[in-house]
A and B are shown apart, each in its own frame.
Chain A
Amino acid sequence: MAWLYLLRLVVKNVGRNRLRTGLTMVGIAVAIISYGMLRTIVQSWYAGAEQSSAARLITRNDSSLAFPLPVSYAGDLRKIDGVSAVTWANWFGGIYIDEKHFFPQFAVDADTYFTVYPEYKISPEALEVFRHERRGAIVGAKIAKEYGWKVGDQIPLKGTIYPGTWNFTISGIYTGADDKIDETQFIFHWDYLNETVKAVLPSQADNVGLFVVNLLHASDSALVSAAIDSSFHNSLAATHTETQKAFQLGFVAMVDTILVAIQTVAYVVILIIMAVMANTMAMTARERTREYATLKALGFSPAFVMALIAGESVAIALIGGVLGILITFPLASAFHAATGHLFAIFEVTPLTVLLQLAAALFVGVMSAIAPAWHTSRLRIVDGLRAVS
């Protein structure tokens, strides 16, 4: 029953200096929210890589992604053992309205693209319409909703890599197989792009940005990658093949310095709040020096007094922490809505919540160490004599 008594005492102590306890809890809540948000931001960068299929390879020019590959490679790729399907795509990089209204645009092979990417769901009728509409485009449900596009709408894009203004007609809208699939892409005919390029810049025609290769067995990825790269090794354009996941992570790695900075900052906020919390506990313990000495004089063990201080510290930290976790969820949705397409997926994971809770607990325990140790070592006489 001693612990129940202890608990009651802790609760009473927490409520003694309402203003200070309240302020500390708010501080901890703010820190836990920031930690959760920053972690979620970093995770969202990696989300694209995590959803990628293991049975899919990306083949690009060995020099860099900025160089194209000849479209004729598609035939050679299909002949390689272990390959089940091949398609290709070009990054278009057009501007809709202005640079702020960004969404990814790809010129793709209309016949094979949606076979290789079954996770982009589209009705067979719409796909049929798309195949016969030279300037047709398939757009993601999310951007269609955002810009109010409907099937049949005309969409002009200003080319940056490919000069001029390009007009497209929406033939259909795709949705993701699950909510982790990016629904912001704008997909149109590579043939349409190529014909125009052929007329304007013949030297750059019949080129593709990258090939997407589906495998029969996911376990063959290393073998098939090596087979692809060696078969083009001495060609005019050598290739670099990697799994879709590695390819996506390559993009994330480009900004890894920034991600490391955000992660560091996420831990700095814990340090900041630890200083605030430790301060609260130190002040509380000092004010109650005489009281704790009295408890010891009455026969309570130093361990009991330590538990009293630690219990109070952990209780304040956990209440603040839970408050922070509860606010993190609506804030994350609001943040996702406000940033538009910056992140395809923005989700507070269970692990994040667990870490938030662990951080709050850590802050609570750490803040109690100095005052608890100090109080337990205090001689009763000195404690009773103390003037606060």
Chain B
Amino acid sequence: MKGLSLAYVARNLLARKFTTCLTVAGMGLVVFVFATVLMMAAGLRHTLGGTGSASNVLVIRQGSQTEVQSTIDHDEANIIAAMPGIATDAQGQPLASREVLVLVNLPKKGSARLSNVIVRGTTDDGISMRHKIKLIAGRQFRPGTSEIIVGAGVARGHTGTQIGDTLHFGLRDWTVVGIFDAGGSGFDAEIWGDSEQMMQAFHRVTFSSEVLHLRDNASYDIFTKALATDPRLQVEAKRESDFYADQSKQLATFISVLGQAITLIFSIGAIIGAMITMYASVANRTREIGTLRALGFQRQNIVNAFLAEAMLLGLSAGVLGLIGASFMQLLEISTTNMQTFSEVIFTLIMTPAIAVEVLLFSLIMGVLGGFLPALRASRLEIVEALRSTT
């Protein structure tokens, strides 16, 4: 004998609309929170993991962890650029960019609060090396002037900096002449200007980091080996993309651990909600279950029907929560990455993997909530169930 049809299961849910709606709403909220957390972590990974290119290598002082804390002097920079494995331009010069990174306080739009924005002094090579960087408005800064270009995130977001604005830092006024788009990567939250000018303004004699373009994929190993064996240098090198991905590790871990802990606790509430609904569903239909059994349906059929009902409950909550969460993609979050002490801007993103994970999660919530009530339903004795008053 075949089991009970899905239509029977669905109609049972529709028969008690108010209860079903409340249960789905409660579970849907849990799903929403779960999905949002996953989307946040994914968004952060996308932003900082997508910063920089794997065909560039970034060199900082040994043990300094971040670019802001690192120092590399002129001599070291020259030695590094002369290492094997580095691509050269038409004139035979190595493709290397000596960069200066400083953190500058800019007021957040509409509040008295300050945010730490990264100002990067870079070079023509530095810009051409990052293929994702595209100027979307205005023009490039001219080397040797106090001109700067700002990332799309900075222009759009919290500081609202636009072309023609002047920013004051390092005892100078800097004019914004262009806005660049870095494809949603971490560079979008930065301000770029001429490296030499930044050094002068901030009275620095050392660079922060040196970014070099690799000749080909195999030359990374050649380069790092040469770097490690040179006794004149106390530096460490990483692929540019790996370097920025590592910078966001702590924040990404923090968000996922906190989020998952919260979701786990919340799901207990939702599972209890589903359990209450399903127990009531069993209690209300005792005579009906008895009838079904008398008609020849097996205990297993009854268990399956109630489990399917609970799963359908979970799935509807999952779909509802997922729809709600996808609207969160419109949200842009700006917060401080405590690892680098600087502002990061990222948007929440929904991926197919997240959708699948969320739907599975909601199904599991349904099953956990429906399991015990289903078991109780199947254990009812036929005669007594038929005799019951409800």
Contact = CB atoms under 8 A, between A and B. Distances in A.
A254 B116 contact: yes
A321 to B, nearest CB: 13
Interface string B266-278: 1011101101110
B234 A282 contact: no
B280 A20 contact: yes
Interface stretch (B60-68, B213-221, B292-300): B60-68
A66 B68 contact: yes
B373 to A, nearest CB: 10
A160 B64 contact: yes
Interface stretch (B5-13, B82-90, B100-108, B135-143): B100-108
Contacts of B269: 27, 30-31, 269, 272-273, 276
Contact of B63 (A26, A159, A268): A159
A164 B64 CA distance: 10
B359 interface: no
Contact of A254 (B266, B272, B276, B335): B335
A80 interface: no
Given A34-B262, A160-B69, A250-B113, A276 B26 contact: yes
Contacts of A275: 22-23, 25-26, 29, 273
B202 interface: yes
Contacts of A384: none
B93 interface: no
A205 interface: no
Interface string A202-221: 01000000000000000000
A361 B59 CA distance: 59
Interface in A267-302: 268-269, 271-273, 275-276, 278-280, 282-283, 287
Interface in A6-30: 19-20, 23-24, 26-27, 30
Contacts of B71: 201
A280 B335 CA distance: 40
B361 interface: no
Which of B22, B23, B116 has the most A CB atoms < 10 Å from its CB? Answer: B22
Contact of B103 (A66, A268, A269): A66
Contact of B266 (A20, A63, A161, A269): A269
Tell me what chain B mostly uses at the interface: helix, strand, loop, or mixed. Answer: mixed
A176 interface: no
A255 interface: yes
A163 interface: yes
A117 interface: no
Contacts of A280: 276
B279 interface: yes
Contacts of A23: 272, 275-276, 279
Contacts of B30: 272
B19 A282 contact: yes
Given A64-B105, A93-B69, A279 B266 contact: no
Interface in A237-260: 238, 240, 250, 253-258
B241 interface: no
B29 A272 contact: yes
Interface string B102-120: 1111000000011110000
A243 B277 CA distance: 55
Given A269-B266, A388-B390, A24 B272 contact: yes
A158 interface: yes
Interface of B: 18-19, 22-23, 25-26, 29-30, 32-33, 61-66, 68-69, 71, 102-105, 113-116, 169-171, 202-206, 234, 255, 258, 262, 265-266, 268-270, 272-273, 275-277, 279-280, 284, 333-336, 338, 341, 390
Given A23-B275, A275-B22, 7 more contacts: A20-B276, A27-B269, A160-B66, A273-B269, A276-B276, A283-B277, A287-B284
